């Protein structure tokens, strides 16, 4: 039996919970020290003991747990997980049937009703990510529901609860028949090699699907493309398939070179016709300026935080400066794809960064397109803070 604990929350938080706000922040809990055992089912109550919502205690990088239901009588058991997972899977029916896309998000945490849990689908393989010890203590339900509802090749898991949401080093295999990685998945007809048993990252960030498609279909033809913070070069592949004349991919991780070669190769693109640079983006910008290189399309998708030998970088602070560097080497009428996954600020602030970068560069621009998470990364419209991805595609005018 799971223990249930009454937890009083402060008066200011009640209206939001009633509207459906799912995250339980530490500072709304009146006596946080009653929270002891991760995974405890908690009933949020007001100062009179009146029921507000029910959820679980799980320490995450943000918050101490998530609301799961606003019905006091609904138990948090196998049937609960089954109902939420079944609805989530049904919402992705069309994607599941699309032969051109075989990798996507199947369950998106609080957006699908269970914060702290995501499930990604890779052509018959399931990757379950756990964001707290609390939700992980309920894993038997989630794996039980997968056993019941789907036919999988294998299940892999990522534990991301070292306190900061960072991946915990482990063997990711859970059950099924282990895959022979890399496997090739499809996304809007493009191929991507993924390895689900190789640490935190799989080889592709599924949340950028719409942006890869936009680059391929609308912005790449005939262009000389620079892809910064390129990781495995997925944006470069999209650009190349969209008719780019040449791509240059820049990432300082050594593994990015073989991984990028691999992504080009599984798409039948001759990687020797492309540039793949293992170096610090900031050094590359200096190099490009010195050699007066100009690009028609620049992709800028840095991690929220990064530390290299020379730099500590945080998008919340340094994005305008980074964008200024990009503007300096973008051709007149060129396109910049400015992206960030930093959840600590919203679209408005992000646009103010863009404004600042252009005004300090003495340059002007026009926004062509804005985008955020794709549909399968379901979020609640009332609470945009959970839709962390912000992408602005813009054109440099002068």
- Using CB under 6 A, list all residues that contact ligand SAH: 205, 208, 229-231, 234-235, 250-253, 256, 280-282, 301, 303, 306, 308, 311
156/229 with CB nearer ligand SAH: 229
172/301 with CB nearer ligand SAH: 301
Beta strands 330-340 and 365-371 are unpaired
Q: How many Å from the N-terminal Cα to the C-terminal Cα in the chain?
A: 66
Contacts of 361 (CB under 8 A, 6+ apart): 324, 327, 328
Question: What is the smallest separation between the CB atom of 253 and ligand SAH, expressed in angstroms?
Answer: 4
Question: What is the smallest separation between the CB atom of 230 and ligand SAH, expressed in angstroms?
Answer: 6
CA distance 123 to 143: 18
Question: What is the smallest separation between the CB atom of 216 and ligand SAH, expressed in angstroms?
Answer: 13
Tell me the helix, strand and coil percentages in the chain, rounded to 5.
35, 30, 40
285's enclosing H/E stretch is helix 281-290
Question: What is the smallest separation between the CB atom of 30 and ligand SAH, expressed in angstroms?
Answer: 40
By three-state DSSP, how is residue 392 classified?
A: strand
The answer to whether 252 and 282 are in contact (CB under 8 A) is no
Q: Compute CA 18 distance to the chain's CA centroid, rounded to the nearest angstrom.
A: 27
Question: What is the smallest separation between the CB atom of 187 and ligand SAH, expressed in angstroms?
Answer: 12
By three-state DSSP, how is residue 90 classified?
A: helix
Q: What is the CA radius of gyration of the chain?
A: 22
By three-state DSSP, how is residue 87 classified?
A: helix
The answer to whether 13 and 20 are in contact (CB under 8 A) is no
CA distance 52 to 277: 54
Question: What is the smallest separation between the CB atom of 324 and ligand SAH, expressed in angstroms?
Answer: 16
Question: What is the smallest separation between the CB atom of 192 and ligand SAH, expressed in angstroms?
Answer: 10
CA distance 369 to 35: 45
CA distance 322 to 165: 25
230/361 with CB nearer ligand SAH: 230
Question: What is the smallest separation between the CB atom of 143 and ligand SAH, expressed in angstroms?
Answer: 29
Own/partner contacts of 351-355, CB < 8 Å, gap of 24 or more, are 351/392, 353/319, 353/320, 353/323, 354/320, 354/323, 354/392, 354/394
Question: What is the smallest separation between the CB atom of 51 and ligand SAH, expressed in angstroms?
Answer: 43
Question: What is the smallest separation between the CB atom of 202 and ligand SAH, expressed in angstroms?
Answer: 11
- Copy the structure tokens of residue 191: 């191929």
Cis peptide bond upstream of 182, omega within 30: yes
- Copy the structure tokens of residue 136: 């992980």
CA distance 226 to 236: 8
């Amino acid at each position: 039996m799971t223990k249930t604990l009454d937890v009083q929350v402060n008066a200011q938080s009640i209206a939001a919970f009633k509207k459906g706000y799912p995250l339980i922040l530490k500072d709304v809990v009146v006596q946080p020290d009653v929270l002891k055992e991760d995974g405890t089912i908690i009933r949020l109550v007001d100062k009179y003991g009146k029921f507000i919502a029910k959820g679980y205690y799980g320490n995450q990088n943000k918050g101490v747990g998530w609301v799961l239901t606003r019905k006091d009588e609904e138990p948090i058991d196998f049937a609960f997980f089954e109902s939420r997972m079944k609805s989530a899977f049904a919402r992705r029916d069309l994607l599941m049937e699309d032969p051109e896309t075989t990798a996507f998000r199947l369950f998106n945490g609080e957006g699908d009703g269970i914060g702290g849990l995501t499930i990604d689908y890779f052509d018959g393989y399931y990757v379950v990510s756990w964001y707290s010890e609390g939700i992980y203590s309920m894993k038997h339900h989630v794996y039980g529901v997968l056993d019941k509802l789907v036919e999988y090749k294998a299940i892999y898991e990522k534990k991301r609860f070292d306190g900061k949401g960072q991946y915990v080093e482990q063997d990711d295999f859970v059950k099924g028949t282990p895959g022979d990685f890399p496997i090739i998945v499809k996304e809007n007809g493009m191929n991507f090699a993924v390895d689900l048993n190789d640490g935190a990252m799989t080889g592709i960030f599924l949340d950028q699907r719409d942006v890869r498609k936009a680059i391929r279909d609308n912005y790449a033809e005939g262009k000389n493309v620079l892809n910064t913070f390129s990781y495995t070069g997925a944006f470069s592949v999209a650009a190349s398939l969209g008719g780019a004349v040449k791509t240059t991919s820049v990432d300082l991780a050594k593994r990015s070179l073989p991984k990028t070669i691999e992504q080009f190769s599984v798409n039948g693109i001759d990687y020797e016709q492309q540039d793949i640079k293992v170096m610090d983006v900031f050094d590359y910008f200096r190099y490009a300026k010195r050699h007066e290189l100009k690009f028609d399309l620049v992709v800028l998708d840095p991690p929220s935080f990064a530390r290299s030998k020379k730099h500590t970088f945080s998008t919340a602070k340094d994005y305008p400066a980074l964008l200024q560097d990009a503007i300096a080497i973008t051709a007149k009428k060129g396109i910049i794809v400015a992206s960030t996954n930093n959840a600590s600020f919203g679209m408005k602030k992000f646009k103010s960064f863009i404004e600042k970068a252009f005004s300090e560069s003495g340059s002007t621009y026009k926004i062509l397109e804005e985008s955020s998470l794709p549909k399968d990364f379901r979020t609640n419209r009332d609470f945009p803070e959970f839709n962390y991805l912000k992408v602005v595609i813009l054109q440099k005018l002068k």
